Amino acid sequence: MKKSFIFAGILVIVVLIVIFTFFTLKSLNNAPYLEGKSAPVPTITLNGNNMEHTYDSFCWNEDCSQTKHNPSSIPITNVNKGDIIEISWKNFKNKPNRVILHNITTGENIAYHLAESDIEIDVPEQVKQYQYEVMFQWYLGQSNDLRGESFLNFGVNPYKE
Examine the pLDDT at 154 and tell me if it is beyond 90.
Answer: yes
- Given a contact cutoff of 8 angstroms between Cβ atoms, the answer to whether 138 and 96 are in contact is yes
Are 14 and 63 within one domain?
Answer: no
Compute the distance between CA of residue 52 and CA of residue 54 in angstroms, rounded to an integer: 7
pTM exceeds cut of 0.75: no
Domain count, the chain: 2
Q: How confident is the model at residue 31 (pLDDT cuts 50, 70, 90)?
A: very low
Are 7 and 57 within one domain?
Answer: no
Helix (H) or strand (E) holding 146: strand 146-158
Higher pLDDT, 101 or 23: 101
Are 26 and 80 within one domain?
Answer: no
Range of the domain at 59: 43-158
- Answer yes or no: is 48 within a domain: yes
Residues facing residue 131 across a β-bridge: 155
- Given a contact cutoff of 8 angstroms between Cβ atoms, the answer to whether 111 and 119 are in contact is yes
Compute the distance between CA of residue 38 and CA of residue 55 in angstroms, rounded to an integer: 12
Residues facing residue 30 across a β-bridge: none
Are 55 and 4 within one domain?
Answer: no
- Answer yes or no: is 147 within a domain: yes
- Answer yes or no: is 115 within a domain: yes
Question: Which phi-psi region, left, alpha or beta, contains residue 89 (left: φ > 0; alpha: ψ -120 to 50)?
Answer: alpha
- Given a contact cutoff of 8 angstroms between Cβ atoms, the answer to whether 135 and 104 are in contact is no
- Answer yes or no: is 16 within a domain: yes
Examine the pLDDT at 24 and tell me if it is beyond 60.
Answer: no
